[in-house]
Amino acid sequence: LLFILPILLFAQALRFPKIKREGTNIAPVNSAWKVIRQIEPDLDGESIFSLRYHADGKSVIIGTTNFNLFRIDLESGKKLWKAPAKMMYQKEFDGPEIFDVSYDGKHFLSFGMSNPEVQASERFLVLRSANNGNILKKFPVLQSLFYSERAAVDYRHPGTEEEKRREEDGIGFNWIMTIDSAMFIEGGKKILATYKHNMDGPHFYDRRLIIYDTSSGKKLQDFQLVADPETANFDQPGGFEIGHFQFPYAYSSSNKSVLFGTSHGRIHEIDESIMTKNFNTPLIEDKACGKIIYIPKSDSPDLDIKDRQSVRGLAISPNGKNIFVSAGTEGGYIQFYAFN
């Protein structure tokens, strides 16, 4: 009883209020979101694609759909600087993503091109100066290491002859990874980045987690996404039967570990030893997947399988003790979970 009581109290504390499904639900005026002030940023008429607040709390870094970067003063709306971030291939609604701003406000993470004349060199990780937007460090273009015997998939580099043949024939390089997102960790000393396969469509399973040293740019750890043994079907690439459209992850400073959610409805935790073991194992079927720390289980009577909700979002509370997860199905059903 003494063991169960704290768990029950924790569950009570995290229980969400019941909302009436009939009639009107009027939120208290004092608790409603309010627009304090509207700012018209000087973006030369360009549209905002992404933004991140600067650590000074007085400015914001913006990426536009014209593939330019701006730093805007929040008090006046004036631009402090403008820098280009052009891409050869641009989608219908696209622009430079501002992944993260460093704790000291000196740098920010985004993406760039290693060779402006080659489309396959697009969207690799760059470290930029928050003072003028200039690129300070270019991280190397990542090549896929995905290799599965049961699914008959091999995206590893095929050699210089095959690379040349594909280039001459105008065929895409199917061994290239592209940056997906990145964040500063360990007080800005390291960078945690996620990569996905350069080709969309059926390649969502080919994802990697990389940890870099910020100062040197050296790769410290490398982890290939793989399904957990309980739900894995390795006749499918990576063991996943459900596409990985999102790859939610977070870094636990207290545990020195990475948490991530999968399309199979599992929350994994991996540390340095697991990442090393995973990287040193070539075959995807044999790779370590990490420890399963939570499985969001639906209480909906409409779902036959309660524990296979794709994880859509994941966050750790500031004190590092609680984790919040959103998970759901393709049919649009979604639930929010919190656990210790």
Rounded Cα distance between 179 and 140, Å, is 11
DSSP string spanning 263-331? TTS-EEEE-HHHHHHHHT--SGGG----EEEE------TT-S-TT-PEEEEEEE-TTSS-EEEEEE-TT
Phi, psi for 202 (deg, rounded to 5): -85, 10
Alpha-carbon separation of residue 144 from 121, 155, 178, 199, 315 (angstroms): 14, 6, 10, 11, 27
pLDDT value of position 158: 85
Helix count and strand count (H, E) for the chain: 3, 21
Rounded Cα distance between 212 and 190, Å, is 6
Rounded Cα distance between 202 and 172, Å, is 15
pLDDT value of position 11: 47
Buried b (16+ CB within 10 A) or exposed e, 39-55: eebebeebeebbebebb
Q: What is the pLDDT along the chain (340 residues), one digit of tens a residue?
A: 444 444 444 444 555 556 555 666 565 666 667 778 888 999 999 999 999 999 999 999 999 999 999 999 999 999 999 999 988 777 777 899 999 999 999 999 999 876 666 666 668 899 999 999 999 999 988 889 999 999 998 988 888 888 888 878 877 777 888 899 999 999 999 999 999 987 755 557 899 999 999 999 999 999 999 999 999 999 999 999 887 777 899 999 999 999 999 989 999 999 999 999 999 999 999 999 999 999 988 877 877 778 888 898 999 998 888 999 998 877 666 778 887 8
To the nearest 5 percent, what fractions of the chain are helix, strand and coil? Answer: 10, 35, 55
Residue 209 · residue 287 · CB < 8 Å: no
Residue 51 · residue 39 · CB < 8 Å: no
Half-sphere exposure of 288 (CA within 13 A, CB side): 17
Taking the model in full, what pTM does it have? 0.86
What is the maximal distance between C-alpha atoms in the chain?
71
- Overall residue count recorded for the chain in this entry: 340
- 19-45, pLDDT tens digit by residue? 555 666 565 666 667 778 888 999 999
Query: For residue 207, which of 233, 245, 166 has the smallest C-alpha distance?
Result: 245
Instruction: Show the 3-state SS of 241-255.
Output: CCCCCCCCEEEECCC
pLDDT value of position 25: 57
Query: For residue 204, which of 278, 307, 310 has the smallest C-alpha distance?
Result: 310
Instruction: Show the 3-state SS of 70-86.
Output: EEEECCCCCEEEEEECC
DSSP string spanning 206-233? -EEEEEEETTT--EEEEEE----TTT--
Tokens of 149: 């015997």
- 131-174, pLDDT tens digit by residue? 999 999 999 888 899 999 999 989 888 888 888 888 788 777 77
